[in-house]
Structure formats: structure tokens, C-alpha cells
Amino acid sequence: MQTEKGQSIEDASMEMIENEIGDHNYNEKEWPIVRRIIHSTADFDFADKNKIIFSKEAIESGIKALKNGCSIVVDVNGVLGGLNKQNPKDFGNNVICNISSPEIMELAKKQGKTRSQVSMRYASSEIDGGIVAIGNAPTALVEVISMVKEGLVKPALIIGIPVGFICAPESKEELSKLTDAPFITNIGRKGGSSSASAIINALYKLLRADLPS
């Protein structure tokens, strides 16, 4: 739970973001998500229109899945660290990160793949109907896209915002063309675990705002 002091700092930060950005082209559901990404990164480039891409009904699909207790599969422990831990408890969401599992390490060696690739395949049953959030590993995102195209999984939402130089921009461009699953992604090299967890935290905040008081 947020302390009173912590909440006051967050509120002041959000107000500062609003004042510095001014007008923007995101709608009333998109902007709270973009604003929280900016809050987590201090990077105002994300406010530029089309830097963050939302597929049709991505936000609605993500909120509905969280409300219904879906699993959340993440690529690295850094995404776990940035999550508000109370939210999954309150809505019964199982958060899964298999990247450090000895079994995943062994499978990756045998298959000649990255651990993040193997960890996505390993969690296919949780990804199907769930939310997958990738902030660090482009190969994980490419693997999830392949799984969707194969008909193996149909996630409620793919959050694909890996940071990096090798394959990161390309993997997000490929996600932006996907028609078989809702997604939130961005253009270019920027992103990261903090951005991925910020998106999930923002979705929970939108979900709570929609609940009857």
C-alpha cells in the first residue's frame, strides 16, 4: 500500500508531467498509461503521438482479463520488481516469471535458444487468455508473436516494449502488424522493464476506477 507521503510525491510528479506535456493526442484511456510510463522513465519522448501504439480494444481487453483473474507472464524479474504487489492479490492474478528456472536454462542450452524464448513457450498455457508483458527480451516478444501466428496461444493482451539495439525495434514493428491479439507497444529502441510494469500498474488503476464505489 502507498503511504500518504509516497502518494503525495506521486501526485506531484503526475501534475508536473501534465504541466510539462500540455496538449497531447492520446485519448482518456491511453493517456494514463502513457503518463505512467513517463513517470517510470522520466522520458518525455513517450508523449509524442504514435510513440506508444495501442491496438483496437487493447486496453479494454487487458482490463477485463485482469478483472477476471488472468495470469500475467513476464519476461524478466525486473518487471516483477516494478509491479504494485497488492493488485495481483486483490484480483487473483498469478504473476509468472520462469527466466531463472533451472529447467528453462537446461532447455535453452539443448535447443540453442535464449532463456526468454524458452520461458515463453514453457508458459503457453498461462499466456493463452492471459497477459504477457515483455520489457527486456526482444527474442521473447518474437517467440510470443510466433506462438500467436501458430494458433498456439491467444493472449488477452501482449505488452511488448523491450529496450535495446539488437532486434528490439524490429520485434516491436512486427508486433504492431499483428492482427490476431490485442497489444500495446512502442516505436524504436526505448522501453524496458519499468515501462512494462508501468503499463500493468496503469491498467490496474483504470480497472479500479471502473469498479463501483
Catalytic residue among 36, 39, 115, 190: 39
Query: Do 199 and 133 contact (CB within 8 A), yes or no?
Result: yes
From 67, 205, 85, select the one nearest 131 (Cα to Cα).
Answer: 67
Does the annotation count 24 as an active-site position? Answer: no
Query: Do 104 and 122 contact (CB within 8 A), yes or no?
Result: yes
**How far, in whole angstroms, is CA 91 from its chain's centroid?**
17
- CA gap 25, 107 in Å, rounded: 45
- CA gap 74, 79 in Å, rounded: 7
Could you give the C-alpha distances from 135 to 12, 73, 161, in angstroms and in order?
26, 11, 5
Could you give the C-alpha distances from 14 to 28, 35, 37, in angstroms and in order?
15, 7, 11
**How far, in whole angstroms, is CA 59 from its chain's centroid?**
11
Catalytic residues: 39
